[in-house]
Every structure is written in C-alpha cells, then in structure tokens.
Structure 1
Amino acid sequence: MGDVAILAPILLEFKRKYPKRKISVLTKNEFAPLFSFIESINIIPIDFKADFRGLLGLVKLSLKIKTLKVDAILDLHNVLRTKILKLLLNNIPFRVINKGRDEKKQLIQGKIFHQLDLTIERYIRVFADFGFNLSMKEPAFPPPKKLPPRVTKMLKGYKKPYIGIAPFAAHGSKIYPLLKMEKVISALSKTNTVILFGAKGNESKITQRISREFSNVVSVAGRFALDEELILMSHLSVMLSMDSGNAHMAAMMGINVVTLWGVTHPYAGFIPYNQPMDNCLMADRERFPKVPTSVYGDKYPKGYEKAIWTISEQDIIEVITKKF
C-alpha cells in the first residue's frame, strides 16, 4: 500500500500543472480511496481475483484499457502482470519504472551504503519520459476536510493535539516491541490524545487492550473505512509509524511522520513523502552491521528481528515532542 500512497502527491502536482490533461489510475479495489481526494482523475478499481484472474483475466483487462483510448501508459509497478499487459498493449506508448533492483540488491548485500533514489523520484521520471516535468518543489497535499461523523463521535471527549501511532507492519522485523511502545504511549498520552491505528482482528484486539490501560488513548484499528482513516490522519499533529503503509498515507495527508526502521533502511528509497531524514529513527548498525538485510523486511539473519529494539523510547519521545 505504501508504494501506491506515494503516487498521490504526484497526481496532485500533475493536475495542478497540467489541469487539462486527463489521467486514469488503475489500481486494486482496496487502494482506490487513496486517490479519492484528487479531483478530475478517473479511478478504475480492479479486482484481480474476481474479474481479471490469470492470463485470460489480463487479456480481458487489456481490452478494458483499450476502451479508455489513452495516448500513453505509465507502468509504475513493473511486475510480471504489467509486463504481460505491455505485450498485449504494444500499440500504445508504454513507459516502465526503473525500480533500481540492482542497486537495492547491492545495498542489502552490504556492497554499497548510501542513499538511493526515492521511490517518488523514480515515479517522476516515468512521467518525464512523456514530457511531463513535475518538480515537486512545492509539496502537494489534499485539501482539508472535516472529520466524518463516525470519527467525530468516537473522538468525543478526546482533546487535541492528536498523536497517531501505527504500531504494526507486515513483518515482525519491522515492529517495535509492544512493551517499549507502551512506554512511549504512556509518556505521550500525559499531554496529548494518542490514536492507535491498525487492522481488524488481532491488531484491533491489541490496540483496544492498550487503550483501556492508558488515559487519553483511543483505538480506531479496524473501525473505519480507508477514506475515513485518511481524513483522520490529516487532523493529527504527528504520526509515529513503522516502515509501513500507514507512514506513507499519513505523509500524503501533509502531516509530520516519524518512522522506526529495523532491518530495513531509508537508504532503499522508501522515506515517506516530504519528510526529513531526522524523522527516521534507525536500528543501531554497530550492533547490527548487516542492516539493511532486505528491502521489505521479510529476510534477515537470525537475531536481526531484534534490531529495531535498539531504538530507545526516549529518542522516539524527544523527536515527536520536537514536532509540535
């Protein structure tokens, strides 16, 4: 989801600079709300499992794309599925993102250790290939919106400032230990309302438990639709997140985002949009010298799942406090 959220500010800038140009975005159903804040774009939600499954499904999707009568196609994913679509749509100008896979491989192998191009910069280059020059010098964010009624009702009695915390990620190596996170929550909730984000199921159960143990803490995990969560994020003073989709969603809404990095590293290019490097708190590489061990956090040597533990609670609290 993070890769998708990074595209939103680019589309905002595109519409600002090229208001007469029409653009369609094909994306998975569940990601469509990420672009609902952008006026005058055609969002085409796709359900690959139900409607466009397998090779025949891709043929069907290519026919659907042809009905759009587009002048150009920008592939910002560069996976097998889009490579097949490129073959099926060979009569339409097609540009593909360079994800820098070789550079990232060298980074995780320890052959290099420096900042690689940001994902947003790689996206911008694909637009530039068709003559659309997007400088992104002025940050582009969705216009402010009032909190939805359901969110307002849940937050009744909780006062601003709101601090968001998204304590989960797809892989355990990217999750800050809950006992340490609870110390952060305890400190921040003394003078702020802490709002916990997460998914339905186990994440919701954990955040509900935490919200019962501390004052001024509320869990919204699994409670709202994605578009409602995004609006809520826009009302936060700061978001604390793992290296996960929540970090990128909060960043696209124009707020300060503090991120925690375990076996992954900002040098791979996934720093949230418009965030300074000092918002990124990283594992101690003196104790865990092989960091980053992977781009997505799914691969790491034994014991490296604890790399993120080396980030101190006090450092997190101090960085967040400075954001006000």
Structure 2
Amino acid sequence: MIHPNLIRKQRLTLLVMLVLIIGTAVVSMGLGYSSVSFDRILPTLFGEGSFKERFVIFEIRLPRMLITILAGMALAVSGAILQGITRNDLADPGIIGINAGAGVGVSLFFLYFPIDAATFIYLLPIIAFVGAFITAFFIYLFAYSRKVGLQPIRLILIGVGFSMALSGVMVVLISSSEREKVDFIARWLAGNIWGTDWPFILALAPWLLVLIPLTLFKAHRLNLLSLSEPVAVGVGVQLERERLILLVIAVALAASAVSVTGGIAFIGLMAPHIAKALVGPRNQLFLPIAILLGGWLLLLADTIGRNILEPEGIAAGIMTALIGAPYFIYLLLKQK
C-alpha cells in the first residue's frame, strides 16, 4: 500500500511540472528570431492575432514545442524502462546505442531509398524502430547467457560499445554522401529538432498513445524486475519474457522520438532518476512525474538553445549533453 503522503506529494509534483511546462511553453512562444509580444500570445491562441503572430505561433513555434514535449516524454519513459530491466541508473537509450541504431536506420533510408514526400514523415518512426530494434536485438543477444539469463551490467557495457561502433558507421555514411544530405545527417546527429511541422506530431503521437499507457499498466512488473532475480521469479514473474516485452517498448519509444528530433541523449537518464529522488522508486509513483519531467527538460533545452545564438541557435541535443554529461559522471561516481 502506498502511503497517502507520498500520493499527495506525487500529485503536488505533477501540478508543479504542469505549471513549469506551461510557463516554459509561453516563454518559448514569445522568444525567437521572430518574436511575439507576451501580451499577444493568448489573444493569438484564441484567433485574435495578426497574420504574422498567427503564422509564428501556429506554424513555427507550437508544432515544434509539441514535438519537443512528446519526444522528451517518450525518451523519459524509455530510460525508465531500461533502468528498471537492467537495475542500473546509468541506462539511457542514447548511452547504450538504441538512439544510434535508430539514426543509422534513418540515415540509410534517407540516403539510399527513394523518398515520397507524402509518406516519408510517417515512415520515419517505423524505419527508426527497425534500426533500433536490430541494434537492441544484438545487444540483448551478446548480453544473454544460457546459464544466468540476461546480465544487466553486461548489457550496459555492450550497449556503449554498439553506440561507439554505430557512431563510426554514421561517419562513414556522411563521408560518402552528397553535401545536402550530409547536412541533414549532421543536424540529426547534433540533436537539432528538425521535425517541426504538424504532420510530425501525427506521426509521433500514436506511438506514445499506445506505448506509454502500456508501460504504466506494466508498472508493477517493472517494480518486480527491479528486485533481485530470485525474488522476482519467486512471485511468479517470467523474467525473460517481461524483459523482452519491456525492451521492445523502450526501443519503440526511443526510436519514434529520435526519428523526428535527432540524436537526443541524457533525457532518459535524468528524468527517471530525478523523479525517483522526488517520490521514491515505485514505478506507479515516479513514472508519471518522469513523463512530464522529460517533456519539460527537452522543451527547456530547446528553448534555451534556440535563443542563445540567433538565428540558428544551438541544437537541443547539445544542450541536453551539456547538462546530462556532468550528471552522468555524478551518477557514475556515486555508484562506486
């Protein structure tokens, strides 16, 4: 039974996160190369703005913000799942190679297959998932032992190795490609939010609408997987089956997110860890907070990066790395 004080704390934290997301979104809508006065944002949202104000908010800022929030949510849940099934707070889809696998899939598709503008946007999450799933399959295969099953620490180490190897593959692809296509891949690698139109939201949202509720449904299973293996088996959990299902969900969430945002790392590391620090390790409690926290962190990183150096700005992936890399080192030192 969850203590009522913890439930109240969770609800209060969720409310604070919602306020932070809305506040950051308002600031993000007003700032930029084409600024909109803050006192004109609400009237514009309700249809009373000028043509320029409506265009800037509805065609440029709002879809980018929604994509960023959704992608941050997906990466946070993916990271929470990976940390649960590996029992390691250092797990993140960007660190263990899943994002890199998705990137190689997207790059190969972009470089060597004919692109139909009408279907390209909706195929991207599927292509990214295929690339990420193949990568995750080999990571799982090399980390699995017939005697002891999946070895979580080994999975992390092998994943880091795959991440480095696939980064090398990306460099090879870039060196043998046309200039305009190289620019796209380079922007993707940097985590520069590029899917900034409404169709990208339609391509990303169905993945989240299915997979995030499924993860919340399996929160109790994740709690048991976080315990020692004998305890989990003792209460009737089919370890390998549950791990495999949850790994596929984590891969699908990460792949769908990075297919439209580029190589974003550390959101899946920071959001679950901070959420656990706030309300404890129970997935029923911290997962909803991690979801909102992931969306806010990526929105904040993109808002800051977009306005530091105008008009191009700094990629959101670089901003998250500037924050996440020191946090990763802190966690690494803490686990010694």
TM-score calculated relative to the size of structure 2: 0.28
- Answer 1 or 2: which has greater strand percent: 1
Higher relative contact order (CA 8 A, sep 6+): 2
Q: Which of the pair is proportionally richer in helix?
A: 2
TM, length-normalised to structure 1: 0.28
